[in-house]
Chains A and B, each alone.
Chain A
């Protein structure tokens, strides 16, 4: 492995020009070449803020000239990112001044008052801990709980209800002052309204808190431990107890517990991916290798992982003062904006509030001009507001969302922000990582070449056998090399685990080979034991090969076997023969040509190719006791026998191709953004279908037509593979053009920072963008995205913090499941809202008719609250369980500007059609009750003033009977109850029709959603309890209703069902017709 920094100079010089808006402090540019003919570039860039810059940005480099012309736009664009970043910039500057890497161990000991051997004393450590605080990242400053709570109290409809409550109290005050007979009704009403607001607020707050807690518990799941030397003893301590000056020991697999200056290392490699994005492990040593602390090898950073080896170091920074801590605190600067569903709900609240206020004011004016008393008019206004506001709806929406969130969590999508559930559904572009998300995140042997033939290996997740032909003696030889020339080992104690799941100590390629051999040959470790290793040269980047010499397991064969693997061209150089069908044949140019073809082919698939060769050392020259010396290489390393090639790739997860094609049919563009090499990226993109089999890139077309790339019509190419280097030099317009013109895009060799540019580009197209990421540097892109998806396994805490969702299994397919759930919940919320809005009319009409026709009040305000918060709650939640009507993954993502949650059709159909039917049904019940008790409908008109007059206790009905005030009131309450019961009965029909929007109920299945029936029974049950159980509590205004009145509205309920079936029938029959346009919501 070679690390180069060839491009350092150029990038740094351009960064110097960046003093106006952006300042790049550091660019890591590491090239990794490992046994692939075409060099593997991995560019990692880390941009930090400098004091002077007042804008934080992780924008990658753009062309200087284009930047200058665009500067106005950029400033505009980044206005929202500007802010009080100065303090943070100050902090960062300190980090830059870090010079611990330049100091020697003894200087460090002096500086931190510690001792490498003895560590700090416990007392001193406690002191420092008290001074510096625990070694943990401060979570992004959360909104104070009380503010969150109060927000729930004033959001949405709460304001309207508060107005209602205040009006109630005002009228109570006026009535009290006037000494009226029963002013306390209004006091109670006001209290009830306030209670409703507070309770729904508490509920919403609780829901929100619960989902936040899930996340909190998630990040706290594994308390980290660190091995520390204190008081000259090794101790296991929780990582947050670490202080500056502590001596810590780390070993392969550990997470680095703080920023550490290494003072002793042994084969230590760290995975900096959480800091810099995707990467190969980088080796660490005690040597001061670079001026820049971020680049020098003797510092390991907090939150990165030690992949292999061991190291000891002095803690130099803890908690928020670590490099990662500073970046993490920057991320919180990108503000959270409203989610699509929040916007939809706001739109809906505006709509309903608009209706409520305009009707309220209209009827206030009407009632005043009809010479009602102002006080009465105010009371009407309260009634109208209460009738119009679906009090329970917002709680219902929260419950529905959290139910979906729960369901998604079961499918490995952990939703942090409830509203993100829906956002995922409206996603139109997914920018996905490659490694780990689309792929299995482990190297796996994909192809073999021996006997002049390429064989394919099984790369699925749970392979137990390999199907290719293993009968050739060449394979036997090859398998031996694979087994023996390998330092990777299984961690002990995993015999019962499937091979693929076992943990291996060793690098990715060796692990792949070990597992491959284990699958085919069985117990590799015992094979190695039988073939005792006598000498070994480990892989190093100068030799680019690995060699070992073994005794053979054949007791009759006293020869030593020399096995070697490495970069194919280097291996071939050392060979003079090649094994064909078990026989050594001279390596002539023809065979070398065959090798080249195979090598290029496998390399072209984006696979990492290794060559294998061996040599049996002649017994006479190398007897049993021969002293092999690896330094002087007193054994042949040339004229070996070439055996074969193995190529490895991080293979795609088996579920991904299907998921990608689902996305495609769902109209979601999948863009791959990876730090990997373009060839590998393209190969994976092709194999998972991100680039479909038939589409070509500009380069492909050029190759096919044999013309220069510049002459190709760019519009013809549907696919594009964009290199990070190209992206650097692109103007925004060029990027937009690419995003617009190509449906299949792969961004390769991008730095995590470029992700942000890509995300913003997608958002400029008006897309709802989902972004996956795992590194700390992904956090800004995750925040910027409409929905940020962090990886649960590979993801860093910072990424998880910035994300809206965490994929517990890091699997792309889970995103698609999430999309499906998100779309479903959007549809189902539509149904819930339609269901809830309908009865508002049936609650509102009584007030309007009461005011205009002066009939006795048909329904009380309290009764309305019992519908909105009693009978209707469970059914509206039940609609969240409704299955999709058609394949929701076969339609385009919703256009967030056009496809509203509550559209005109929904409101109009619910309010003006079904709502009116319900009102008619309820009024018929009302008139029936009054008529059968003695007041015929004609008597009721215009009767209000006398009816409500306390001084009339011999009020005459249609039959000449006389009623006292209380007797009339009781009848009025019976009317309330009857009205309530009719609305409930008709809401059952409403609930059933809302199950579908297009399909017939019979297509959807009346009994498929069992929860709907729970809803129906609960609805009727609650109504029964209210009517008969609480019928004697006068304050609630319910009376035990005669049983037959339950059935008066049934014909209207049936009518509603039939009418809606007819509506749906016409919608299905005549798509695109006038009916479809006006009746489909």
Chain B
């Protein structure tokens, strides 16, 4: 095989590069004449304008096909996620740590709860109606104002001892803290198949004694009249005024083990709600690590 060795020195390379950038003899700038650069730029400009147009057109027609009230598919939302407040996340999920005797450690948690419950004051809920029936609140028509659908009221007082009204510290100084459990909204999701889904909290693993929990409202159920959710556009919502508010369940752990980290799982039990997805720790349940110091 032959030698095609063309070793160039650095200065030669630089010179070649300089010549490539501007060649005074052929009047080539980076391998093209200036007019040629203009042409090619114009061509690419036109090309990209057309491509952008096509993109815009495609997005426009995509939007035209979209239903404004509900998405076409809910492939990933077969079962709702469950979240907990206060939501302090550590490296491995929810980790709540506080010292009963040191109010600095739990003041933040209390504030989080208070802020969260601000959306559930009667004032914030004033546009919603009072519901009494214990069945699904099915609306086929738009009965609300501005062609919206109505939502049931959920006010923080329904959480009784954990409402922050009777006990503004949510039981933290006593070592029996309140946590608020919320189920994620899914459009036209009917949980429980006629019976109200309820929250059930237990220790994970083998603990010496069972966890004693007070549930608010009674039995820790989400009343069926808060379901189904009809979507943002139907259940009108502004940033300062929640028309549809997720129903809540508050849990108060009465005999939580002190001074060690305990793992607690709060499951929402009801037909249609699964909590056995190994990949998703927050589907149908919420996992919590709690360390309560004295």
Contacts and interface: CB of A to CB of B under 8 A. Distances in A.
Interface of A: 80, 179-181, 335-340, 343, 417, 420, 423, 763, 768-769, 783-788, 804, 896, 904, 912-913, 916-917, 920, 923-924, 927-928, 931-934, 936-937, 950-951, 953-954, 957-968, 970-971, 974, 1034, 1042, 1055, 1074, 1078
Interface stretch (B96-104, B105-113, B183-191, B259-267): B183-191
A1060 to B, nearest CB: 13
Interface string B1-12: 111110000000
A932 B55 contact: no
A933 B83 contact: no
Contact of B279 (A340, A768, A958, A1034): A1034
B62 A928 contact: yes
B62 A931 contact: yes
Contacts of A179: 91
A417 to B, nearest CB: 7
Given A904-B31, A954-B182, A966-B277, A960 B1 contact: no
Given A933-B76, A963-B77, A1034-B279, A181 B91 contact: yes
B156 interface: no
B2 A785 contact: yes
6 contacts: A927-B59, A931-B71, A934-B71, A960-B237, A961-B186, A971-B76
Contact of B232 (A336, A959, A968): A959
A557 B48 CA distance: 102
Contacts of B237: 960
Contact of B55 (A923, A933, A953): A923
A395 B24 CA distance: 42
B71 A966 contact: no
B71 A964 contact: no
A964 B72 CA distance: 19
B176 interface: no
Contacts of A785: 1-2
B54 A343 contact: no
Given A786-B1, A916-B51, A964 B81 contact: yes
Contacts of A1055: 54
A932 B71 contact: yes
B75 interface: yes
Contacts of A338: 1, 4-5
B89 A960 contact: no
Nearest to A769: B2
B184 A966 contact: no
Given A962-B81, A965-B282, A340 B184 contact: no
Most buried by B among A423, A783, A923, A933: A933
Contacts of A763: 2-3
B233 interface: yes
Contact of A959 (B40, B63, B231): B231
Contacts of B73: 932-933, 1042
B15 to A, nearest CB: 17
Contacts of A417: 1
A337 B1 contact: yes
Contacts of B80: 962
B47 interface: yes
Nearest to A1034: B279
A916 B48 CA distance: 9
Nearest to A964: B81
Nearest to A929: B73
A933 B74 contact: yes
Interface residues of B, number: 59
A924 B59 contact: yes
Contacts of A420: 1
B132 to A, nearest CB: 25
Contacts of B232: 958-960
B87 interface: yes
A970 B91 CA distance: 21
Nearest to A343: B4
Contacts of A966: 277, 279-283
Given A924-B62, A933-B74, A965-B282, A339 B81 contact: no
Contact of A970 (B58, B76, B231): B76
Given A337-B4, A769-B2, A970-B76, A954 B184 contact: yes
Nearest to A965: B282
Contacts of B277: 966
A960 B185 contact: yes
A936 B81 contact: no
A959 B280 contact: no
Contacts of B91: 179-181
A974 B77 CA distance: 13
B70 to A, nearest CB: 6
B81 A963 contact: yes
A924 B58 contact: yes
A913 B150 CA distance: 52
Given A896-B4, A964-B184, A1074-B36, 13 more contacts: A337-B1, A337-B3, A339-B1, A785-B2, A927-B62, A928-B62, A937-B59, A937-B62, A958-B232, A960-B229, A965-B280, A965-B282, A967-B81
Contact of B2 (A337, A916, A928, A957): A337
Interface in B26-78: 31, 36, 39-40, 43-44, 47-48, 51, 54-55, 58-59, 62-63, 66, 69-77
A571 B282 CA distance: 113
Contacts of B31: 904
Given A924-B55, A960-B231, A967 B2 contact: no
Interface in B150-201: 182, 184-187
B233 A959 contact: yes
A953 B187 contact: no
A923 B59 CA distance: 10
A559 B187 CA distance: 124
A181 B94 CA distance: 12
Contacts of B43: 1078
User: What 3 A-B pairs have minimum CB-CB distances, sorted nearest first?
Assistant: A960-B232, A964-B81, A966-B280
Contacts of B63: 931, 936-937
A806 to B, nearest CB: 15
B66 A931 contact: yes
B209 interface: no
Contacts of B92: 181
B273 to A, nearest CB: 13
Nearest to B36: A1074
A954 B81 contact: yes
A783 B2 CA distance: 7
Most buried by A among B182, B184, B237: B184
Nearest to A916: B51
Contacts of B74: 933-934, 961
B290 interface: no
B235 interface: yes
A954 B80 CA distance: 9
Contact of B1 (A783, A934, A957): A783
Contacts of B72: 932-933
Given A928-B62, A1078-B40, A962 B185 contact: yes
A933 B233 CA distance: 16
Most buried by B among A961, A971, A1078: A961
B55 A920 contact: yes
A179 B89 CA distance: 13
Nearest to A967: B76
Contacts of A912: 44
A962 B51 contact: no
B286 to A, nearest CB: 8
B81 A959 contact: no
Contacts of B40: 1078
B27 to A, nearest CB: 17
Nearest to B40: A1078
Contacts of B1: 336-339, 417, 420, 423, 783, 785-788, 804
B76 A963 contact: yes
Nearest to A339: B1
A336 B4 CA distance: 10
Contacts of B283: 964, 966-967
